[in-house]
Structure 1
Amino acid sequence: MVKLSIIILTYNSSHYIKECVASIFSFYSREMEKGEFELIIFDNASSDDTIEILKNIKDDYRDVKVFRNEKNLGFAGGMNKAVLHSNGKLILFINSDTVVNDRNIIRMVNLMEMDEKIGVLGGQMLDSKGIKELSAGRFYNLMNVFLLAVGFERIANVRFSPEKNEDVDFVSGGFMMVRKDVFISVGEFDENFFMYVEDMELCFNIKKSGFKIMFYPYAKIKHHKHGSSSRSFAVVNIYKGILYFYRKHKSRRSYFMVKSLLEVKASVAIFIGIITQNDYLKQTYRRSLEVLKHESFKVGL
């Protein structure tokens, strides 16, 4: 019986996917051989030589399941499709640009098996220097969005990494274990989130269903941060994701308050970009304002 399906989504991941897979088998080859763990790699229409590397990986590790989509479905769509091919009771989503450091994923599995009220369990991601990344967080409330808008994101403390096992609002989708039946019952990842914020929204739905979201800092993976997106892409899609989250889950009044706060932040960033001749600020936040305008159109403004 398969206990855990490890799922990796690739998109132009040729520089790091081989190391990621090798690290998994270096610590969990025994579980793979026994059929307790399985590894699924789903490619999101890569345009580099990722597919050729995946063919080589398939030759080296026969038990790896490799699937390819003809279109980039984004993180949410790609992961949802990959889950369809899984057999485990538990799913572990990990980024393709990560390296497994230990056997503590087994402890995560054991913890999920012992406490059936845990719907999601997140682990600690480390950067290439071994410094903790902020791998858990709190849902974006109006105060947090306000602090984001006025430039005090650190004070908002939306993202953090507890030192011990702790109930949290959400964990990073880059190292997230979830019960498959719960994942499916709440509607999986919402594919309206192309990338970013979908992990928070999934945890929101699972928590609303009565399950706990837990952070487990003792399982660690190294994150190279050679991801599939640019910083500008991230900012734009985080803005889009926050606004969509509020449109879907919060009151109309809260939605418009958040939209206004994000517009102020983007406008100030553009002004600073003009004054300092910073093309990144100008281009990124002009695109963010376009996204906010598009979201307004969706609600009939």
Structure 2
Amino acid sequence: MDLSIIIVNYNTIELTKQTLHSIFDKKYNFIYEVFVVDNASTDGSVDMIKTEFPQVQLIENNQNLGFSKANNLAITLAEGKYILLLNSDTVVLEDCLSKSLSYLDAHPEIGVLGCQVILKNGQLDHACKRGFPTPEASLYYILKLNKLFPNSKRFGQYDLTYLSDQEVNQVDAVTGAFMMVRRGVIDEVGGLDEDFFMYGEDLDWCYRIKKAGWKIIYYPEAKIIHYKGASNKKKKVKIVYEFHRAMYLFYKKHYNEKYNAFVKGLVYMGIGIKLAISTVVNLFKKRGGHDDQGKPKDTK
């Protein structure tokens, strides 16, 4: 088996159907399998998959286990030389999978490959090539200095604005919306950290993989469309909470011993303040009926 594709679904029946069609409607020169892990959807997703995509290996959970646990369930069953984590709100464009596999085969030092991710408005999803969110990088990002000085390596170190979107580059992390990982890497560093319910698990995985000596590559020759925000109009309280909890978990796990008490205090205080502000803003948006175009990983 060359490739195992894993999709986590949670009440995104039409988006998941679109994603599966974008895979199965193409012909390939490699052997692959597709897993869909359903986190107790109530929108008919399971019946749709059984009826329209009987070739899918369907895992039905009786509760929402989150993104990390759901993916790990399929990873343990997957037989592919490479494992692809793919969001349920994406469309795989022509030759994306073939090009990614060929590039990984030609470069055995690469542990993780991410493709170019295009949003529905045609712009780049900057999460597809990122630096790690160190306190310094996060500060510049919050102050939007990356937008004022996009060509600066210092100010653009989180979303790597100084790197060309059209060139292959080694990066710190790629998005879990499309993350192709070498099976041997997973055997070495382990699966996704299940402490992360949603958000942050892709950054954490990339951090561990890079720490183990593997390269993480942004490969723009392969492309997908990401309908980011299409699956939810308003963020639920749990989504806002889990996003900020992931920030806390990542810092505590990887940076807690690297910085002094003053820096750590500022970081954790900043996360708490941001959580409070985001919660209040989200409540006002719900009352006002405005659409929220936030990250769609609540579909996990």
Q: What band does the TM-score fall into relative to the shorter chain?
A: 0.7 to 0.9
Give, in angstroms, the shift of residue 263 of structure 1: 2.4
Is residue 220 of structure 1 aligned with residue 217 of structure 2? no
**Alignment partners' CA distance in 2, 1:14 and 1:255:** 47
List alignment gaps of at least 5 residues for structure 1. 282-301
Give the 3 Å change call, closer, same or farther, for CA 264–168 of structure 1 in structure 2: closer
Aligned residue for 1:16? 15
Counterpart of 1:137, as a letter, is: R
Tell me the residue number matched to 2:182: 179
Give secondary structure in 2 for the equivalent of 1:84: helix
Please name the residue that 2:6 is paired with.
7
1:43 aligned to 2:38?
yes
Select which of 275, 279, 288 maps to 2:284: 279
Aligned residue runs from structure 1 range 172-211, under 5 A: 172-211=175-214
Partner residue, 2:298: none
Q: In structure 2, do the counterparts of structure 1 residues 149 and 27 end up closer, same or farther at CA, with 3 Å as the change threshold? A: same
Question: Could you tell me whether the CA contact under 8 Å between 1:150 and 1:265 is conserved in 2?
Answer: no
* 1:185-244 residue CA offsets vs partner (Å, 9 max, x unmatched): 212110101111110110111111111000101111111122468276554333222221
C-alpha spacing 1:101/1:265, structure 2 compared with 1 (3 Å): same
More helix by share: 1
Q: 1:94 to 1:272 in 2, by over 3 A?
A: closer
What's the secondary structure of 2:117's corresponding residue?
strand
Amino acid at match of 1:98: T
1:243 pairs with one of 242, 245, 248: 248
For residues 280-300 of structure 1, what are the alpha-carbon distances to aligned partners after superposition, in whole Å with 9 as ceiling and x for unaligned? 59xxxxxxxxxxxxxxxxxxx
User: 65-74 or 245-254: which moved more?
Assistant: 245-254
Q: In the alignment, which residue of structure 2 is the partner of 1:159?
A: 159
Aligned to 1:108: 100
The answer as to whether partners of 1:97 and 1:224 remain within 8 angstroms in 2 is: yes
Q: Distance in 1 between matches of 2:34 and 2:266?
A: 44
Among 269, 286, 300, the residue aligned to 1:263: 269
- Tell me, yes or no, if the aligned pair for 1:169 and 1:213 is still in contact at 8 Å: yes
Q: Note closer, same or farther for the CA distance 1:6–1:266 as it changes in structure 2 (3 Å cut).
A: same
Cα distance in 1 for residues equivalent to 2:189 and 2:270:
34
Matching residue of 1:138:
131
The structure whose RCO (Cα within 8 Å, separation 6+) is larger is 2
Deviation at 1:63, TM superposition (A): 2.6
Cα deviation, 1:259-297, whole Å, max 9, x if unaligned, reads 5235246547857998x997359xxxxxxxxxxxxxxxx
- Offset of 1:147 from its aligned partner? 3.1
Query: What count of residue pairs does the alignment treat as equivalent?
Result: 272
C-alpha separation in 1, matches of 2:225 and 2:35: 20
SS of structure 2 residue aligned to 1:96: coil
Q: Following TM superposition, by how much is the alpha carbon of 1:184 offset from its aligned partner in structure 2, in angstroms?
A: 3.0
Partner amino acid, structure 1, of 2:259: S
Q: Tell me the distance in 2 between the aligned counterparts of 1:273 and 1:241.
A: 15
> Which amino acid letter does the alignment assign opposite residue 13 of structure 2?
S
> Using a 3 Å threshold, how does the CA distance of structure 1 residues 268 and 172 change in structure 2: closer, same or farther?
closer
Instruction: Give 1:47 shift.
Output: 2.1
Tell me, in whole angstroms, the C-alpha distance in 2 between the residues paired with 1:277 and 1:197.
20
SS at match of 1:177: strand
Letter aligned with residue 206 of structure 1:
I
Q: Find the counterpart in structure 1 of residue 85 from structure 2.
A: 93
| TM-score when normalising by structure 1 | 0.80
Distance 2:282 2:207 in 1: 39
Q: Partners of 1:121 and 1:273 in 2: how far apart? A: 34
* Percent identity of equivalent pairs: 31
Q: CA deviation at 1:64?
A: 1.9
Which residue of structure 2 lines up, in the alignment, with residue 230 of structure 1?
235
Could you tell me which runs of 5 or more consecutive residues in structure 2 were left unpaired when the two chains were aligned.
149-154, 287-300
